[in-house]
Structures are given as structure tokens and as C-alpha cells.
């Protein structure tokens, strides 16, 4: 059972990155997938989420209009496209799968029980 996030790195302000997260050994298509991030000295926070049907997408106010979450259920993969990055986006980014297929409050950590290992995103000014 594994979620493998990748694609992080060092980028200049204004740049873009795309983070894929591949799920293996667990059910994927019926479950919310979320992205969260944690900056040094701060709590882990919600970034974006998408239901299994991709019928809607949800974002934190701080990233809305700059980030886009998507998924490919055939590939058991979710993506976070990050544009117009700024230094405040510097953090370790984690993908996560919800613990159930219904009744999920998508922006709360406790509704997710499978987590990837995280990928570091550093934005220089």
C-alpha cells in the first residue's frame, strides 16, 4: 500500500511545477484524493482535493486560481499543477487518500488515512 508523490524541486518565483502522486495497492477511483502541505514550523494544511468522479475540485484560498488538481483513475494517479509560485508556497507537499468513499470533509486531515511520503517544493525569490 503506497502513495508515491514526486515532482518537487527548486523553482524561481513565478515558475511552475507539476506534482504527480501514484497510488498502488489500494482502491483509488471511488475516493477523494487530497494535497496538503507543511512548511517548517507550521501545521500541515489543506491545499486541494478532488472526488473520485472528478465532478468538482476544491482549493484553499491561498492557491485558488494558481493551482489545479486533477486525476487519472486509469493510472491511479492524481496531479497538482502549480503555477505562479511564490516563496510562501515553499513546503513539503503530501498527497493523501480519504478513508472512505462518502461523507468526506475534504479539507480536514482526519478524513485521510493514506499518506504519501511528501515531496519538497522550494520557491526562491
Residue 21, number of CB atoms within 10 A of its CB: 25
47-92 pLDDT, tens digit per residue, is 999 999 999 999 999 999 999 999 999 999 999 999 999 999 999 9
Instruction: State how far the Cα of 70 lies from the Cα of 81, in Å rounded to an integer.
Output: 8
The continuous run of DSSP H or E covering 4 comes out as: strand 2-5
31-41 pLDDT, tens digit per residue, is 999 999 999 99
Instruction: State how far the Cα of 46 lies from the Cα of 58, in Å rounded to an integer.
Output: 10
3-29 pLDDT, tens digit per residue, is 999 999 999 999 999 999 999 999 999
4 contact partners, CB below 8 Å, separation of at least 6: 21, 22, 23, 24, 116, 117
Amino acid at each position: 500500500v503506497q502513495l508515491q508523490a514526486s515532482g518537487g524541486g527548486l523553482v524561481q518565483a513565478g515558475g511552475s511545477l507539476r506534482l504527480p502522486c501514484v497510488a498502488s495497492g489500494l482502491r483509488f477511483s471511488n475516493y477523494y484524493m487530497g494535497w496538503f502541505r507543511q512548511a517548517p514550523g507550521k501545521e500541515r494544511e489543506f491545499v486541494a482535493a478532488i472526488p473520485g468522479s472528478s465532478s468538482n475540485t476544491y482549493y484553499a484560498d491561498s492557491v485558488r486560481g494558481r493551482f489545479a488538481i486533477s486525476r487519472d483513475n486509469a493510472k491511479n494517479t492524481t496531479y497538482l499543477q502549480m503555477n505562479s509560485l511564490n516563496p510562501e508556497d515553499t513546503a513539503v507537499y503530501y498527497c493523501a487518500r480519504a478513508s472512505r468513499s462518502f461523507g468526506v470533509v475534504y479539507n480536514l486531515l482526519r478524513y485521510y488515512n493514506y499518506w504519501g511520503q511528501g515531496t519538497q517544493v522550494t520557491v526562491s525569490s
